[in-house]
Structure 1
Amino acid sequence: MKNAIVSIVMGCAVAVSTTAFAAGDMGNMNMASGAQQGASAKSSMSHGEVKKVDATAGKLTIKHGPLENLDMEAMTMVFKVKDPAMLSQVKVGDKIDFVAEEIDGSLTVTKLQKQ
């Protein structure tokens, strides 16, 4: 029983010292640059081509390049639009720059401009 208690205490000591060591190593990291990179990636525009405009459903089908802020490869997919007025700005075949974000579990175009 005494050996079990000693083993538990030693295990806890190792875990605490490892955590403290890791936290100490993070003191030299520039956390602001990571936040800035995340913000710039989120606001950077992706490129695509409108394949379908579904005004009744409030959706666009876009053939797009990589979506870096969502960590997605190039593909064709359907997006909701944040503002229904975006749908009247484009037609099938238009080349666009856009920002898509995940909002309430749905991929949503939040910014849109024709090229």
Structure 2
Amino acid sequence: MNKALVIFAMGCALAASGASYAADNMQNMDMSAGAKQGAAANDSMSHGEIKKVDTAAGKLTIKHGPLENLGMEGMTMVFKVKDPAMLSEVEVGDKIDFVAEQVDGALTVVKLQKQ
């Protein structure tokens, strides 16, 4: 029983010392970096591949990675385009960088560039 109490006390002491070490190391950290990084993520482009160009409907089907600014995982989906001229800039199979946003309730590509 005595041995169990000693082991328990040592475990508590180690846990407390680790917590105080971590707290001490965080004193000089710039905690605003996370906010800056979050803002940058909203402006960053996502990567994808054009699967279909529908000029009549003004839409692109894109197989894409995560859309950080929308909190979406990678998948294949259809997007409206903000500017119909974007449709003539790409063809099926093109690798692209793009920004999609909710515009009037529809997912819309607002920036687009070929890789």
2:68 aligns to what?
68
Q: Aligned AA for 1:60?
A: L
RMSD: 1.8
Query: Is 1:39–2:39 an aligned residue pair?
Result: yes
2: CA distance, partners of 1:50 / 1:56: 16
Q: TM-score, normalised by structure 1?
A: 0.69
1: CA distance, partners of 2:97 / 2:86: 12
Gapped regions of structure 1 (runs ≥ 5): 1-29
Moved over 2 A (4+): 30-34, 36-39
Instruction: List aligned pairs for 1:1-115, cutoff 5 A.
Output: 34=35, 36-115=36-115
1: CA distance, partners of 2:61 / 2:111: 15
Deviation at 1:85, TM superposition (A): 0.3
- The count of residues paired between Structure 1 and Structure 2 equals 86
Instruction: From the two aligned structures, give the one with the greater helix fraction.
Output: 1
Change (3 A) 1:38 1:104: farther
Q: TM-score, normalised by structure 2?
A: 0.69
2: CA distance, partners of 1:74 / 1:63: 8
Q: Sequence identity of aligned pairs in percent?
A: 78
Deviation at 1:37, TM superposition (A): 3.6
